[in-house]
């Protein structure tokens, strides 16, 4: 295997938001936040002052072409931006936040132009794609404070991301319209609102908060096994509460600052359904955790039906 890495550079709003999607890709070695210049050489300073107008916040990615490709990077890049917005990105406005692909060679230029052409002819975007494809003439690193900001300052990062309206807008822009239509047809309104729009159902007015039957709860969207009644208890909150998931690998926990407070959101891993929140006020003897889950995100399978439904292996957990 070659040790020869290649470099790609993209601009798409605040550089903080582009780091995590790329560093989590297999084959990327590092992602540096900085400033890309399209038309002039820099003067050696970090160009984050109001007198510099020809730069954009960008990320520079070092990647292994034997593991991932430039086209894969382009695919991820498009899905981090609104390709029709040339005046910035979401609530971050101005030239410094305008999206662009900065190519390093003619091969990258060709692939970027082909990808842009495909987007323009996909009928997904009206008006047309406004992302510029520009030759990179210089890239200067941002200060250490800005590097991997999402790891160093997770609360501030999530708060700024929420206020930028970025995450919600991206989900709407890039959603699979056919899948979304199928979900709307298959799910009840409250099931759709909870799992897809992060809503919360009413306490004590939901299906499973006081369930006394033995069985398994699975994701209403994907069928992923999530919780069992063995770990369910009455927390006095009006929602189904659990001390632990039946399979930790089937859920993911994310910081939630939607109400300007820090909470831990619980989502299913495969379907990415919003399930509820995790709190630290659960039974001490059981580890102190309380998974507070919306009934609308769950489908209940009674223990006597597990074999028929294909979940027989989970009998031993009940």
Query: In sequence order, what DSSP letters do the residues of 167-217 get, joined into one string?
Result: HHHHHHHH--HHHHHHHHHHS-HHHHHHHHH---PPTTSSSSTT--S-EEE
Q: Return the closest-CA partner of residue 13 out of 100, 78, 97, 101.
A: 97
What is the distance between the alpha carbons of residues 72 and 78, in angstroms, rounded to a whole number? 10
Per annotation, catalytic residue among 146, 166, 277, 299: 277
Q: What is the pLDDT of residues 155-189, one digit of tens each?
A: 889 888 888 889 889 988 898 889 999 999 999 99
CB distance 234 to 210 below 8 Å: yes
Per annotation, catalytic residue among 96, 146, 166, 274: 274
CATH topology of domain 183-317: 2.170.150
Tokens in use for 289? 């955790």
Per annotation, catalytic residue among 237, 263, 269, 272: 237
Global confidence as pTM: 0.79
Q: What is the mean pLDDT of the chain?
A: 91
Is 47 known to be catalytic? no
Distances from the Cα of 264 to the Cαs of 241, 255, 261, in angstroms? 15, 5, 10
Q: What is the DSSP letter of 236?
A: S
31 SS3 class: strand
What is the distance between the alpha carbons of residues 110 and 24, in angstroms, rounded to a whole number? 25
Distances from the Cα of 186 to the Cαs of 206, 266, 271, 306, in angstroms? 19, 22, 15, 22
List where CATH 3.30.1060.10 sits in the chain.
Answer: 6-172
The pLDDT, as a whole number, for residue 48 is: 46
Give the E-state strand segments of the chain in sequence order. 6-11, 28-37, 55-63, 88-89, 92-93, 100-103, 132-135, 138-141, 215-219, 225-228, 232-233, 241-242, 251-256, 263-268, 274-279, 290-293, 298-302
Is 156 known to be catalytic? no
For residue 31, the number of C-alpha atoms closer than 13 Å in the C-beta half-sphere is: 25
Q: What is the DSSP letter of 30?
A: E
Peptide bond into 71 cis (omega under 30): no
37 torsion bin: left (phi>0), alpha (psi -120 to 50), beta (else): beta
Q: What is the DSSP letter of 247?
A: -
What is the distance between the alpha carbons of residues 256 and 198, in angstroms, rounded to a whole number? 11
What is the distance between the alpha carbons of residues 119 and 76, in angstroms, rounded to a whole number? 13
List of the chain residues with pLDDT < 50:
1-2, 40-51
183 torsion bin: left (phi>0), alpha (psi -120 to 50), beta (else): alpha
Is 292 known to be catalytic? yes
The pLDDT, as a whole number, for residue 124 is: 82
Q: Return the closest-CA partner of residue 156 out of 263, 262, 274.
A: 262
**HEC profile for 130-160?**
CCEEEECCEEEECCHHHCCHHHHCHHHHHHH
Pairing of strands 100-103, 132-135: parallel
The pLDDT, as a whole number, for residue 39 is: 53
CA dihedral 264→201→294→230, nearest 10 degrees, is 120
Is 281 known to be catalytic? yes
Is 146 known to be catalytic? no
Per annotation, catalytic residue among 47, 56, 290, 299: 290
Tell me the torsion sign for CA atoms 188, 193, 303, 203. Answer: negative
Residues facing 132 on adjacent strands: 100
The pLDDT, as a whole number, for residue 63 is: 97
Q: What is the pLDDT of residues 243-295, one digit of tens each?
A: 999 999 999 999 888 877 889 999 999 999 999 999 999 999 999 999 999 99
Domain covering 6-172 in this structure, CATH number:
3.30.1060.10
List where CATH 2.170.150.20 sits in the chain.
Answer: 183-317
Q: What is the number of H-type helices and E-type strands within the chain?
A: 9, 17
The pLDDT, as a whole number, for residue 49 is: 46
């Amino acid at each position: 295997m070659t040790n020869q890495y290649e470099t790609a550079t993209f601009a798409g709003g605040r550089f903080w938001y582009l780091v995590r999607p790329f560093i989590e890709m297999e084959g990327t070695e590092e992602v540096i936040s900085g400033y890309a210049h399209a038309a002039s050489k820099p003067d050696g300073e970090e160009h984050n002052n109001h007198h510099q107008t020809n730069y954009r916040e960008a990320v520079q990615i070092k990647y292994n072409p034997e593991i991932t490709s430039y086209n894969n990077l382009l695919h991820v890049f498009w899905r981090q931006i609104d390709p029709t917005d040339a005046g910035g990105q979401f609530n971050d406005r101005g030239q410094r936040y305008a999206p662009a692909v900065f190519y390093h060679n003619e091969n990258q230029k060709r692939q970027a132009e082909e990808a842009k052409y495909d987007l323009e002819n996909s009928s997904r975007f009206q008006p047309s794609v406004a992302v510029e494809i520009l030759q990179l003439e210089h890239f200067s690193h941002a200060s250490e404070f800005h590097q991997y900001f999402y790891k160093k300052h997770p609360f501030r990062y999530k708060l700024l991301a929420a206020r930028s309206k970025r995450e919600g807008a991206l989900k709407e822009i890039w959603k699979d319209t056919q899948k979304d239509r199928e979900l709307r047809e298959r799910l009840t309104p409250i099931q759709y609102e909870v799992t897809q729009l992060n809503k919360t159902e009413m306490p004590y007015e939901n299906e499973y908060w006081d369930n006394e039957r033995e069985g398994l709860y699975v994701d209403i969207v994907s069928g992923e096994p999530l919780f069992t009644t063995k770990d369910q208890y009455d927390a006095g909150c009006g929602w189904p509460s659990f001390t632990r998931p039946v399979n930790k690998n089937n859920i993911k926990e994310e910081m939630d600052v939607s109400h300007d407070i820090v909470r831990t959101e619980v989502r299913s891993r495969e379907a990415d359904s919003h399930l509820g929140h995790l709190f630290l006020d659960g039974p001490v003897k059981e580890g102190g955790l309380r998974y507070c889950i919306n009934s609308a995100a769950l489908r209940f399978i009674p223990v006597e039906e597990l074999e028929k439904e294909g979940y027989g292996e989970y009998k031993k957990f009940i």
